[in-house]
Chains A and B, each alone.
Chain A
Amino acid sequence: MKTVEVVVLIILILALALLITVGFEHIMPSTAVRPPAEFYLYATYNPYKLREYTVMSPEAVTAIVWDFRGLDTLFETSVFYLALIAGLALTRRLLSERAEKPGHGLSLIVKTVTRITAPMIIVVGASIALHGHLTPGGGFQGGSVIAVLPMVIIVVFSVSFLIMRGFTTSKMIIMRSLGLFGIGLTAIALFLVSLIQGTHAYVFQNMIKPDAQTSMPIYIAGALISGTLWFFNLFEMFAVAAGFSIAFIVLMLARTLQVEER
C-alpha cells in the first residue's frame, strides 16, 4: 500500500515539475541582479572607488549581515537569547548539578572515536566562524557546529561526564553573557572611542563614513579582519555555542530529576 502512495506522490511531483517547466516564462522571476544587490556587491570590497561605503570584506553575505543590515542581525540574536532565557526560566527549579556518578555511555570504540573527533569539530567550527568575513560562514554557523560537540558528548558519554569536566550551566551562562557583552561592546566601540577623542561617530559603525572619519582596524598583523565583522563573528560563535550547550544540558538534567521524583 505504501508503495502505491509513494508512486502516486512521485507522479504528482513530476507532473507539477512539468507544469512549471511549460509555464516557465510566466512563473520565473527575472535573472537580472536587482539594484540593492548590485550596490552591495559593488561596495562590499571596494577600497579604491567607494572608500566611504565599503566594508572591506570579500564576503558579501557577512558584510550585509553584520554591517549593511547589522541592526537586523543584532535583533535576531536577541530573539534567540530571549528564547533561551525563557527555557532557562521554565526549568529553573529542576536544575541541580550534583556531581553524580557518570553513566556507562556507549562502547569504548565510540568513546575513543569521539575523543579524536572532538578537537576536529572545534577546529572546523572555529575556522568557519573566524574566516566568516573571507569565506561563506560566520559566527552563527561556526557556533552551531561547535555546539554539536556537547550533544555528541552527552550521547556518547553522559551528561554527568560533561558537568564533572566543568561544563556546568552556570559557566555556560557566563560564557554566553561574555559573548553577548562582546557583541554589544563591538557595536558601540567606535562611538566610545570618538567620544573620548571628541570627534563624531555612529553606533554600529565599521569603516569610515562621509561625516565620521574614525574607522575600525582593517588589518591586524597583515591579516584582513574587516573591522567589526571579525569581532562580531568571534563573539557570536562563543554566544551561540554556549547557548545551544545550555539548552542540551538543561534538557538532560530536567529529565534526570523527573525520573528521581517518581
Chain B
Amino acid sequence: MSGETGIYILMAVVSLISTLAVYMAVVEKDLVKAVIYSALQSGLYTILYFLLLAPDIGLVYIPVAVGLIPGVLLILISKTERWEKE
C-alpha cells in the first residue's frame, strides 16, 4: 500500500466520522454535548483541510471553529436553556 492510498483511506475515515459527528450534533437534546460534537466535526474538518493542501484555511478553522464559536455558543446556552425541548 503506497503512502498516497493511506492518505486517501485516512481522509475517508475522517470524513465518515465527521458526518457521524454532525448527525450526533443534530439529534442531541443536550445542547452542551451538541456543541462538543460540532467542535469534534470542525477538528476533523481541519485534518481534511490539511490533507487537501489548504493549511491556510486549516489554521483559521482551528481557533474559530474549535475555540471561538463553541465559546460563543456556550455563553449563549448559559444565558438561555441547556435542554432542547420537543
By a beta-carbon cutoff of 8 Å, the part of chain A in contact with chain B is 2, 5-6, 9-10, 13-14, 17, 61-62, 128, 136-138, 140-141, 144-145, 147-148, 151, 155, 244, 247-248, 251-252, 255, 258
**Chain A contacts for B19, CB-based, 8 A:** 9, 13
Q: Given A151-B68, A255-B79, A141 and B23 touching (CB < 8 A)?
A: no
A248 to B74, CA, bound (A): 11
Contacting residue for A144 out of B15, B20, B55, B63, CB 8 A:
B63
Asked whether any CB of chain A lies closer than 8 Å to the CB of B1, the reply is no
A141 touches B20 (CB 8 A): no
Min distance, Cβ B56 to any Cβ of chain A, angstroms: 5
Give the residues in chain A near B27, CB-CB below 8 Å.
2, 5
25 A-B interface contacts by CB (under 8 A):
A2-B27, A5-B23, A5-B27, A6-B20, A9-B19, A9-B20, A9-B23, A10-B16, A10-B20, A13-B15, A62-B56, A128-B59, A136-B58, A138-B56, A141-B59, A141-B63, A144-B60, A144-B63, A144-B64, A148-B67, A151-B68, A151-B71, A244-B68, A247-B72, A252-B75
Min CB gap A160→B, angstroms: 15
| Docked complex Cα distance between A145 and B58 (Å) | 12
Tell me if A's interface is mostly helix, strand, loop or mixed. Answer: helix
Considering the complex of A and B, which 6 residue pairs feature the smallest CB-CB distances, nearest first?
A136-B55, A141-B59, A148-B67, A144-B63, A151-B71, A141-B60
Note all chain A residues with C-beta closer than 8 A to B16. 10, 13-14
Contacts of A147 in B (CB 8 A): 63, 68
Chain B min CB distance to A153 (Å): 11
B78 within 8 A of A: yes
Contacts of A62 in B (CB 8 A): 56
Q: How far is the CA of A255 from the CA of B71 in the complex (A)?
A: 14
Q: Is B12 an interface residue when CB atoms closer than 8 A count as contact?
A: yes
Name the distance in Å between A213's Cβ and chain B's nearest Cβ. Answer: 32
From residue B12, how far is it (CB to closest CB) to chain A in Å? 7
Tell me whether A137 and B68 are in contact in the complex, defined as CB-CB below 8 angstroms, given that A9-B20, A10-B16, A13-B19 are known contacts.
no
- B56 A61 Cβ-Cβ under 8 A: yes
Tell me if A17 and B12 are in contact (CB < 8 A). yes
**Complex: chain B residue closest to A9, CB-CB:** B23
Q: For residues 53 through 86 of chain B, which have their beta carbon under 8 Å from a beta carbon of chain A? A: 55-56, 58-60, 62-64, 67-68, 71-72, 75-76, 78-79
Chain A residues whose C-beta falls within 8 Å of the C-beta of B62 in the assembled complex: 145
Additional pairs, 13, CB under 8 Å, beyond known A141-B63, A145-B62 = A2-B27, A6-B20, A6-B23, A136-B55, A136-B56, A137-B59, A141-B60, A144-B64, A147-B68, A148-B63, A155-B71, A251-B72, A251-B76
